[in-house]
Amino acid sequence: MLKDFLEFINTNQLCKATDKVLVAASGGKDSMALLNLFVEGQFNISVAHYNFGLRGLDSDEDENFVKEFCEKNRIPFYITKSDTKKIAKEWGVSTQMAARQLRYTWFNELIVSEDFDWLATAHNLDDKIETLYLNLTKGTGPRGLKSIPLKKDKIIRPLMFAEVAEILSYLAAKNISWREDVSNQTVDYQRNKIRHQVIPKLKEINPGLANTAQVNFSRINDLNAIFDEKLELFKQSIDFGEIIKIPFLEWQSTPGFTLMIEEFLKPYGFNYQEVTDLLNVTISGKIIKSNTHEIVTGRTDWFLKKKWEYTEETNFHFKEPGLYEIGTQSIVLKVTTDFPSIMDIRKSEHAFFDFDAIKWPLTLRNWKHGDKFQPFGMKGNKMVSDFLIDSKIDSPQKNIQKVLCDSQDILWLVGLRTDDRFKLHSATTKILKVSFFK
């Protein structure tokens, strides 16, 4: 098995013998096989064991078992412990989810603090097959079909070539002991149901299931490579900004568009049903929401942004000229006597006002229904809502449109039009220049 192990590592370029590798070891059969293979191959390893405290004395004996193995083989080791059930309750998540989060957070801390090149976990081929069927059962996109990745970021899985039967044969041949977690034999967990009830039935249909799975995973990886290439082209057509503009009309007839948009929107909290609802929209102005974001449909584009709710906290007040930080932007209020050039006036990030016409303090806020101003060049007032409609401003932009006001009136529909009552004229002696910078 050592030969297969080394060949698998070299073929897939997982790590070099001189790399500093942290091995996650529970004390179970898989991790003990992985540890011994690394020792036989004379790799530069250390061991990390997380005691979740879920099985009382058995958990402590697992910890002592791993500790004694490391001491016997002179392997540096790290051990930590937590009350996982208590933490899961505090976080409001399942015990399994809390354990996973705790484990990988700690592993990542060790990788950084101790400068490890890789974290090696003992996932095997059976684990990968089980995960595939679990993903298919619960619903998955192209990424889920790949199941457990062989290598991702700093995580490597050098035992992924081996079935459990091979691992048990290796342990028996080398007379290697391990700790058995009795919870692995129950069907209380979803994965165990797949392992003990589904996979055996599939092997009755196809005794060579593992070999077939290897071939299929290779095909799935190739299909994902094609998909990733198409997805990257799609992303390059998207205009990323405070509002993300997605050119759906340009892409909607492209084969695979549903998969692309589903994959793209996952990080923004959209699930398959919400994506389906979005794809079925045939009108402009429809809003589809996830827990954190919303998409507004336009004539040719979709507009993705964080959910917006108006509160007084969105107001920013300026008592005097100066430099102010507003989120990711800076706003500069500068008093000057120099009249701007035509080029400066045309820049949407700048605005110029007759300083003496302003009644301080100034306020920057989102526009609201009922707002009106006198657009530059016009004699009468106009509702801000009507101005936005006439200017063909899409709904997402409307939601975040800012106005700059003094204590009585709107000075500037920011980036669009200033108010005529505050314009510069021949009698102006002091000018307020307002500039936005990202």
pLDDT tens, position by position, 309-319: 444 456 899 99
Beta carbons within 10 angstroms of residue 30's beta carbon: 22
Looking at residue 398, what is its pLDDT? Answer: 76
CB burial readout 302-314, b (16+ within 10 A) else e? bbbbeeeeeeeee
Q: What is the CATH number of domain 2-216?
A: 3.40.50.620
Containing 102, the helix (H) or strand (E) segment is helix 95-113
The CATH 3.40.50.620 domain(s) of the chain lie at 2-216
Query: pTM for the full model?
Result: 0.67
Measured CA to CA, the distance from residue 371 to residue 436 in angstroms comes to: 22
The CATH 3.50.40.10 domain(s) of the chain lie at 312-437
Closest CA to 273 of 287, 260, 290, 253: 290
| Architecture (CATH level 2) of domain 312-437 | 3-Layer(bba) Sandwich (3.50)
Looking at residue 121, what is its pLDDT? Answer: 97
Residues (pLDDT < 70) of the chain are: 182-188, 308-314, 327-328, 395-396, 438
Looking at residue 183, what is its pLDDT? Answer: 64
User: Model confidence over 50-70: pLDDT tens digits?
Assistant: 999 988 899 999 999 999 999
